[in-house]
Amino acid sequence: MKPMLPTLYTEIPKGSEWVYETKYDGFRAILTMTHNSIDLTSRNEKSLNESFPEIISEAKKLSEQLKPFLPLSIDGEVTLLTSKYFSDFEQLQIRGRFKNKEKITQASKEHPCRFLVFDLLKRAGNNLSLESFEQRKKLLYELFETLEIPTEINPLGHNILQYVPYTTNYTNLWKKIQLEDGEGIIAKHLNSKWEGGTRSKQWIKIKNYKKACFFITGYDKDNGYFQVGVFNGDQIISVGAFSHGISSTERDALIHILKENKVSETTNFIEILPAIVVELQFLSLYKNQLREPSFISFRFEKQVDNCTWDMLLLSTAPVHKELSITHPDKPLWETMDVKKEKFLSYLYQVSQQMIPFLEDRLLTVIRFPHGMFGEAFYQKNRPDYAPDFIKSEVNEDIDYIICNDLSTLLWLGNQLAFEYHVPFQTIDTDHPIEIVFDLDPPSKEYFSLAIKAAIEMKKVFDKFELMTYPKLSGNKGLQIHIPISKNSLSYDETRVFTSFIAEYLVTSFPEDFTTERMKKNRGNRLYVDYIQHAEGKTIIAPYSLRGKKEGAYIAAPLFWEEINDLVSVEDFTIEHVLKRINTIGCPFKEYFTTPQDHTLKTIISGLDH
């Protein structure tokens, strides 16, 4: 049985006879169950049973409940869900190529794929292809209710089989898909019959295409595709090729221009230097290549220098349409080549790691409207000109911005907010959700004292079997974070622990460390700041830049095993931090799943007595 396929349109069909479903980026498949067999079959009629054993296993678990409905065929999409509207196609493809049985089994347990079901084709052996989509969907809904499976998508749910609902409100669904970077929407006619193996106009797909500008680098004579690229610094990065969307007249004219201005020509290829800018639409980037690119228009008013890797990445950011990026080529540092587009691209690329530390906290930012070429100022209040999607919370007559999403983070970045300072508690509690020690040496020349303090603290933490997380302050010192559960410990209770650790360090190494608050009385000793951990105080958020004239350095999370080899913060630039995330991952990855309050309560109880 081959699936019914939707037809690609650019305009959404509207009217009371149309309904809308989320289109997921996955492997289309039909699950068929009889009394003797279970088969998951791809659109090319290949078995997916061995590749996705978790789906087959789930079907087996349900087989007893499904007996009255067998033989049964359901249509859906094999996905690797990361949100309610987004499936990670890149990771799904990697998973789909696994051949080793043990590797497949391990992946199916650690990161199970879901089979998202949107149609019912056969029930109790009855072919439903002549029934309307509305009736098939109704019967499918009843089937899920009988099985007591929730009838909505839940990426965190335990159910491997999930029901795909439809809506009559296209606008709201489209907004959610854009913000979650979903693939698109499928519009389905309520009266549509099942047309297996055909591309029907009763099912319409509208894809969530992105747009960006590129320069042409050449023309492949063999396949008729135009190669395009962008600049990454001084390098040209090839990002793909297009052929669709361009008219025959435009194609002929473009080939003529390429031949007139070529750098070289062979029997297969015409090469040209960056000069011609085109706007393309594309679905996403996969392995740094455009997926489904097609021509929109020539952009003769654009300079090739505007076609950059950072702007390409930003064009893929799932943000509110009201968000616009201004002056992307604005230089921000005199000592480093960091333009605004690079800074914003950095925020986008670290957003998944950074936003959890900003979420539901009263945010204080330091803005640098002219980069390092002008004065800076603190901002707490949400300005009147902020767009509607910027959320806020009033606290002590200050209307603080709450940064819970990418749109807000990039809007703040566009306002050139470099530093992001957060309190130790969220807006719904007066208890801390983390403990942070600030190890503050007198200057960068004494950074080794911060390393020594961290190492000595780690010895104590290890004795207590306490899990802790170090990070650079982004300035001259180190900070040690300890996660705790919400409402588990008061500030008074945590002070018992923080003062104990601080006093231990100072007593053990009085010539190196101090808790003296007055700078003039510290000498060349490191200040162990435990007083800062209090209600109303703030700390620099992980992955925030610091506004220092000498360079764009970052409050970067670290692994404990890196501490001994640290020299200075100056290694932790935008490029280096992004490379770390892409290679060794985020050192704070497990932070919010490893609260230490049970261990801390035991320690504090012992210290109190």
Hey, what amino acid is at 427?
Answer: I
Q: How many CA atoms lie within 13 A of 128 on its CB side?
A: 24
Choose among 34, 27, 112: nearest CA to 75.
Answer: 27
Total Cβ atoms within 10 A of residue 136: 21
Hey, what amino acid is at 541?
Answer: A
Peptide bond into 71 cis (omega under 30): yes
| Cross-strand pairs, 205 | 8, 186
Cα separation, 287 vs 291, in Å, equals 10
Token pair for 583: 């290679």
Choose among 488, 471, 469, 497: nearest CA to 553.
Answer: 471
H-state helical runs in 431-588: 447-463, 491-508, 574-583
Is residue 48 a contact partner of residue 206, using CB atoms and an 8 Å limit? no
Cα separation, 581 vs 330, in Å, equals 26
Is residue 342 a contact partner of residue 310, using CB atoms and an 8 Å limit? yes
Tally helices (H) and strands (E) across the chain. 13, 30
Cα separation, 171 vs 177, in Å, equals 10
Is 201 annotated in the active site?
no
Cα separation, 472 vs 540, in Å, equals 10
H-state helical runs in 415-526: 447-463, 491-508
> Which residues neighbour 454 within 8 Å (Cβ) at sequence distance 6 or greater?
439, 470, 478, 480, 563
Hey, what amino acid is at 233?
Answer: G
Residue 178's Cβ-count burial label (10 Å; 0-12, 13-18, 19+) is middle
Cα separation, 203 vs 368, in Å, equals 50
Cα separation, 155 vs 348, in Å, equals 22
Q: Of the residues 2, 23, 175, 380, which is catalytic?
A: 23
Total Cβ atoms within 10 A of residue 276: 21
Cα separation, 300 vs 279, in Å, equals 10
Active-site residue list:
23
